Every structure is written in structure tokens, then in C-alpha cells.
Chain A
Amino acid sequence: MKMISAIIKPFKLDDVREALSDVGVAGITVTEVKGFGRQKGHTELYRGAEYVVDFLPKIKVEIAVDDEIVEQVVEAISNAAKTGKIGDGKIFVTSLEQVVRVRTGETGSEAL
């Protein structure tokens, strides 16, 4: 099993969610996050006082998946979140040791 964390542009969330449904992902967790990468921040100007905002708002999507659909999922997110401009985000894939479904106590792939 793998845990996929994708940092994406907020306005791409709906597209990503649809693309994930299409490849059979049954559940995701979404968090509003802030950070910076190559995109840098932006500036705000109030009566000549300039403020540089370093951290930009992004969306973090977390998905736990079976090994066999990892590539499909990663591809689906990449395609859906892509605008071709700096700041499209990143996808992190890490291995996942255990999953437990709280309601039934099922574990492993059964719980996904």
C-alpha cells in the first residue's frame, strides 16, 4: 500500500477529485495548507506600504491506495492538476505500513 500526498492549486481541487473518482479511488482527505516553492509569494500594497506574502495557499490531497493502482492515481492527479505554470504543485508517494477501518476492525487492503 502507498500513501499519496499531492500539493495542488486550490482551484484544481474539483478536477482532481473527479479524476480520482474515475480511476476508482473511494476516499480522500483534503487540507488547506500554505507554503512556498519556486512560485515564491506575491506582494500586497496598501497606500504605498508593500508587504511580501511568502506563503501561498495550496490544497493538500491525501490518498491511501493499493500498490497496483499507484501509477494510475499519480497520473490522474498530474493530468488533472496541471496548468503548465510554476506553482502546479508536487506529488509525494510513501509506503504505508498499515490501515485499519475503525468501524469493522478490518486491516490492510481490505480497509482501503
Chain B
Amino acid sequence: MLQAIFFSLFVRPFLTFFVGLRIAGAENLPKTDPFVMIANHTSHLDALTLLSLFPLSRLRNVRPCAAADYFESTKMVSWVSHTFLNILGIRRTNITRETHPVFLMKACLSRGESLILFPEGTRGSGEEISSFKTGIAHLIEEAPGIQILPVFLKNLNRSLPKGEFIPIPVFCDVRIGAPMTVQGSRQKIVRSLEEAVKALAEG
């Protein structure tokens, strides 16, 4: 409820009128969950932008995966991340069987929740897409046949780069690719996902 209010009153007007999103490929958005959306990562605006692509009624069903050491660092931060972004906290250290990222993500998918993943693992400068981490391949091995939706985000790093807190208005592109399924070795999976996002970057 709070998330829906936050998105309709602040996030969407901000992204539409201040930033100015130009969305291509909206018809590729799956109508049903679960799926895994992957995108390049350059800005704190990325997760907000990707979530804003969905109708308010589906917001609670789409969960951005976010580093627990950052987005759950304090009680306050954690409350904000969960209430307004509905994140799935991913631990990068002190991992046990129950807190293993792949285990948690798979649990979400089997509950019918979709995920947003930034396979580069961290925000980049926006100049080029870094190589993807292999976590996504582990997840696909655990959930074979899951729909992957590649997305390329352009210019969001110019609106709000890493290390800045005041966004500037600059038109940003969201390019949504066709849903795909991948299989094969981990290396092959990672490579084909990288290629899918890079292909959107060039088109």
C-alpha cells in the first residue's frame, strides 16, 4: 500500500516529467509472473525505473535483488528498502544455507514472485557494461526454463551517477528485449545474457 502510494505520487511523476523516460519494447513485458528481469546497473534510479514499468497492482510481486550490507545496513534503511522497494536482501558475506542468495531467489520464484537482478553485481560508470557475475547462471540452473527479460537502461547514470544525491533532468531510455530462456553451461548462460543486454545497448 505504502509502496503504491510512493510510486503513484512520487516515483512515476518524477520519472515521467523530471527525468523523462523513453520506453521501447513495453509490449515485451510479461503479463504474468514469475520471470527474471536483468539489466545493466549504473544508478540508484535503476530499480525505481524498472519497477515503474509495472502496474501498481503488480508492484508487490516484483522484487529487486539488493545487497543486504547496503540496503539492510540499519533498521531504518531496511524498513525503507522493504516498504518502498520490496527488495529481496542478498547477503554478500556470512552466507548460510538458509540465507544463500540462490536459495532465496528460487523461493521467490516458486512463490510466483518475479525478480529484478543486476548481474554486474554493482553500479558501473555507465561507459560500458561490465561482465556479469555467475550467480544468475546458478539461479537458472535451479529454476530451468524461467523466462529472462533483458533490459538496457541508458542515461540514468547521467541523471544520478554513483556518489551523487541530486538527480538532474536528462531523458533516459529503457529498452526492453523479448523474453528468452537460456540453458547450457554456466559460462554459456552468462555469455548469452550479456550479449542480450549488449545487443539492446547497440540497437
Q: Do A and B come together as binding partners?
A: no
Which A residues contact B (CB, under 8 angstroms)? none
Which B residues contact A (CB, under 8 angstroms)? none
